[in-house]
């Protein structure tokens, strides 16, 4: 049986390779300049690989003996989106049978576990159980599921569907719920069983054979059950209602009759009664063990599933103990020495395992270990240890991931707030098959990953122009996951086979990152991958001048998703604009363009709010001094900086100027505008930036003219050579 159509692991076709760059020593001296140089080519793939000059080999600076960490547990087939949908379906159908006293045994057909989710989907596509049976389409169902013809598998599928899936589907359609006594007009108020004390006070109750919720229906040939009367105090229910509608009848909740008592089932959840033959579908015999009625099954099945995430392992590892475990696991799995296993074989096996509903392979991944706490793999000049000259050189290098985010041309160095999650590197200790799921970086920033040592890390990348297409495809193919977790792709817990994405028009590239190599991911470029074996990597975010427009677009995107920001984009831009003389010329020019757009917006929005809402009060606010959670828009969760609307009656609330209607229902005279800068101050900042940016423009024009002149001279020389 083919579970993924043409995209099972065995048939995995590696996507094309991403661009690989090998800078000269001269180019390597300016990291962000070099990344800007290769950007026009590299960003078209989303990711690229950079091989440093051969003798650039930073020493590994982690204290190996004291480095201890607790990894995450990853069950491979729970990572893959379509496989997780199938496993979730199996969980729900197993729960459905379990709470009715039956354990689900999934049948095997053609030596493979029957994929109940795919079977259900195909039957629904073909018109449902009744039509498929009536029009004898079971052979076609078998064919669609990839089974060989001529083996009468269709009738086998019908039998399994009717026995296992059909009752579940009928239940979910609502047909199995009682409609007679549970219809809105016939629903009776809940009434608890009477106590001994109640019966002493009301002798009439002693004459009745039945108690509780339900109509008083004597004369139907009922035989009282052996039910002990609860003593006073044993129940937390309110005092019994003594109306006739509060007396418990041993009658079927479906048909309302109490005959054929030997076929009446008593629910272990709510004490309602049902004839076995009144259930949909009917039961041929009473189930063994506990049994729940359709109403209780519905209540249980309505409970939302927990949001999926990774659990932490219980064992703490050192680098050595994790390496021993990882190498033993890989050698045993492939039955050969770890370094002899071809990367292509590991890749095919990885995609086969994540798409399997029957092979439950579990690995461990030391992911997101904060270098601030555990120490970086690069040498650091932080005064904690004396560095050799070589170590000091590497500690200053712009390619050191502790240095790159705070280089002069970098944007993040201008943020005072604690965003150590973005500015400080994270460490990753991998083993074979441990994976990182499809995601883009916070604020659509760049990321850079360095593999210090160990076996390769396999990457997949999608360019930013295809980001929305990837999201559409994943939501279209696995809507069930996104219904329960709309922000699933922000959770970093889902992968999807690149071949599936490519077949739906998403361009994907791949690469094997070897020890000593960098991988760069570009703004809004989705990326994912897995480790080929035991290795140690380090990664960090960074933002260059060209990122600023993407960063602004990201905030607009977050606003629509109501997603929290890590920092305020307006605050960052204004912080740079306030000190233009400290900015790199290129960064000053980019900041001027960004600031111009922000000021235009700030001219328009507050004026609209003041006019439309009739606001007369305004108050200056140093937003940067407030904790982020005290300046987030109540509606869209964006972090406010330049302006916000507040209410004197509701001091704990504020909204950004895009959501002024959502603040509160207080009178307009209670509303006031909170602002950071006056328009005059913003224009002054913009002017100072412009002066600084014009220096850059003047320089850029001179360079351009010089290049054009040089190019013209070359063309002239060529013409001169070719003229007789």
Instruction: Tell me which of 345 and 272 has the higher pLDDT.
Output: 345
Where are the CATH 2.60.120.650 domain residues in the chain? 20-71+312-544
Residue 538 in this model has a pLDDT that exceeds 50? yes
According to DSSP, residue 513 is labeled E
Where are the CATH 1.10.150.60 domain residues in the chain? 79-173+252-310
Among 309, 515, 544, 541, smallest CA distance to 426 is for 541
Chain centroid, CA 588 distance in Å: 36
Distance, in Å, from the CA atom of 679 to the CA atom of 417, rounded to the nearest integer, reads 25
CATH topology of domain 79-173+252-310: DNA polymerase; domain 1 (1.10.150)
- Angle in degrees, CA 670, 671, 677, rounded to 5: 140
Q: What proportion of the chain, given as a percentage, has pLDDT over 90?
A: 45
Distance, in Å, from the CA atom of 431 to the CA atom of 166, rounded to the nearest integer, reads 42
For the ranges 101-105, 198-202, 505-509, the maximum mean pLDDT occurs at 505-509
pLDDT in tens, 459-497: 999 999 999 999 999 888 887 766 766 665 555 557 889
Residue 213 in this model has a pLDDT that exceeds 70? no
Distance, in Å, from the CA atom of 572 to the CA atom of 552, rounded to the nearest integer, reads 11
C-beta atoms surrounding 129 within 10 Å: 18
- Asked whether 518 and 48 are in contact (CB, 8 A), the reply is no
Distance, in Å, from the CA atom of 581 to the CA atom of 190, rounded to the nearest integer, reads 76
For the ranges 242-246, 285-289, 678-682, the maximum mean pLDDT occurs at 678-682
CATH of domain 20-71+312-544: 2.60.120.650
Strand (E) or helix (H) holding 143:
helix 138-144
Q: What is the DSSP string of 537-598?
A: EEEEEE--GGGHHHHHHHHHHHHHHT---SS-HHHHHHHHHH-GGGS-HHHHHHHHHHHHHH
According to DSSP, residue 462 is labeled E
- Asked whether 38 and 529 are in contact (CB, 8 A), the reply is no
pLDDT in tens, 100-154: 767 777 888 887 788 888 898 899 889 988 898 888 889 899 888 888 887 788 8
Residue 227 in this model has a pLDDT that exceeds 60? no
Residue 418 is predicted with a pLDDT of 67
pLDDT in tens, 95-104: 777 777 677 7
Backbone angles phi, psi at 277, to 5 degrees: -85, -10
């Amino acid at each position: 049986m083919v579970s993924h159509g043409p995209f099972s692991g065995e048939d995995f076709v590696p996507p094309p390779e991403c661009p690989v760059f090998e800078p000269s020593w001269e180019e390597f001296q300016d990291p962000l300049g070099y990344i800007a140089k290769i950007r026009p080519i590299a960003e078209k793939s989303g990711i690229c690989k950079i091989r440093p000059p051969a003798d650039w080999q930073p020493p590994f600076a982690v204290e190996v003996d004291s480095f201890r960490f607790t990894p995450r547990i990853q069950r491979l087939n729970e990572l893959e989106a379509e496989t997780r949908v199938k496993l979730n379906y199996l969980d729900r159908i197993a729960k459905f049978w379990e709470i009715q006293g039956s354990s689900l045994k999934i049948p095997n057909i053609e030596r493979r576990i029957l994929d109940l989710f795919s079977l259900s989907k195909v039957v629904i596509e073909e018109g449902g159980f009744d039509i498929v049976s009536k029009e004898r389409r079971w052979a076609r169902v078998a064919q669609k599921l990839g089974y060989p013809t001529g083996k009468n598998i269709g009738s086998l599928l019908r039998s399994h569907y009717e026995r296992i899936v059909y009752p579940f589907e009928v239940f979910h359609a609502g047909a199995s719920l009682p409609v007679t006594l549970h219809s809105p007009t016939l629903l009776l108020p809940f009434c608890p069983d009477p106590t001994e004390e109640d019966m002493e006070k009301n002798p009439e109750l002693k004459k009745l054979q039945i108690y509780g919720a339900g109509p008083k229906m004597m004369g139907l040939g009922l035989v009282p059950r052996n039910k002990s009367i609860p003593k006073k105090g044993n129940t937390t229910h309110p005092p019994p209602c003594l109306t006739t509608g509060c007396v418990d009848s041993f009658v079927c909740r479906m048909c309302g009759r109490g005959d054929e008592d030997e076929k009446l089932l008593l629910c272990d959840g709510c004490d309602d009664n049902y004839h076995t033959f009144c259930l949909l579908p009917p039961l041929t015999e009473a189930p063994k063990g506990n049994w729940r009625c359709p109403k209780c099954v519905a209540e249980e099945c309505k409970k939302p599933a927990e949001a999926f995430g990774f659990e932490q392992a219980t064992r703490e590892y050192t680098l050595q103990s994790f390496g021993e475990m990882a190498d033993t696991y890989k050698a045993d799995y492939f039955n050969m020495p770890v370094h002899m296993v071809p990367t292509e074989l590991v890749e095919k096996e990885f995609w086969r395992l994540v798409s399997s509903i029957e092979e439950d392979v579990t690995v461990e991944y030391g992911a997101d270990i904060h270098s601030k706490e555990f120490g970086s793999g690069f040498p650091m000049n932080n005064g904690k240890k004396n560095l050799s000259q070589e170590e000091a050189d590497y500690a200053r290098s712009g390619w050191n991931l502790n240095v790159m985010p705070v280089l002069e041309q970098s944007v993040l160095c201008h943020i005072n707030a604690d965003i150590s999650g973005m500015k400080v590197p994270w460490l990753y200790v991998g083993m074979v098959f441990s994976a990182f799921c499809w995601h883009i970086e916070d604020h659509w920033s760049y990321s850079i990953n360095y593999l210090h040592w160990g076996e390769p890390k396999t990457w997949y990348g999608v360019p930013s122009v295809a980001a929305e297409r990837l999201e559409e495809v994943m939501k279209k193919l696995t809507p069930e996951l996104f219904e329960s977790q709309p922000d699933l792709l922000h959770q970093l817990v889902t992968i999807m086979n690149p071949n599936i994405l490519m077949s739906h028009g998403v361009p994907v590239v791949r690469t094997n990152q070897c020890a000593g190599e960098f991988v760069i991911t570009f703004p809004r470029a989705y990326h994912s991958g897995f480790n080929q074996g035991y290795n140690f990597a380090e990664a960090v975010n960074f933002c260059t001048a060209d990122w600023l427009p993407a960063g602004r677009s990201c905030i607009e995107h977050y606003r629509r998703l109501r997603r929290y920001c890590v920092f305020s984009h307006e605050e960052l831009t204004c912080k740079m604009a306030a000190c233009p003389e400290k900015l790199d010329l290129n960064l000053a020019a980019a900041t001027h363009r960004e600031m111009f757009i922000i000021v235009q917006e700030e001219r328009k929005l507050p004026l609209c709010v003041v006019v439309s809402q009739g606001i007369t009060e305004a108050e200056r606010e140093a937003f940067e001094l407030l904790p982020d959670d005290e300046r987030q828009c109540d509606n869209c969760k964006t972090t406010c900086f330049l302006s916000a609307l507040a209410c004197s009656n509701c001091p704990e609330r504020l909204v950004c100027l895009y959501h002024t209607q959502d603040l509160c229902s207080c009178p307009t005279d209670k509303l006031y505008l909170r602002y950071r800068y006056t328009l005059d101050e913003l224009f002054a900042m913009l002017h100072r930036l412009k002066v600084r940016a014009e220096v850059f423009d003047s320089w850029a024009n001179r360079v351009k003219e010089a290049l054009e002149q040089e190019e013209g001279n070359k063309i002239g020389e060529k013409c001169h050579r070719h003229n007789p």
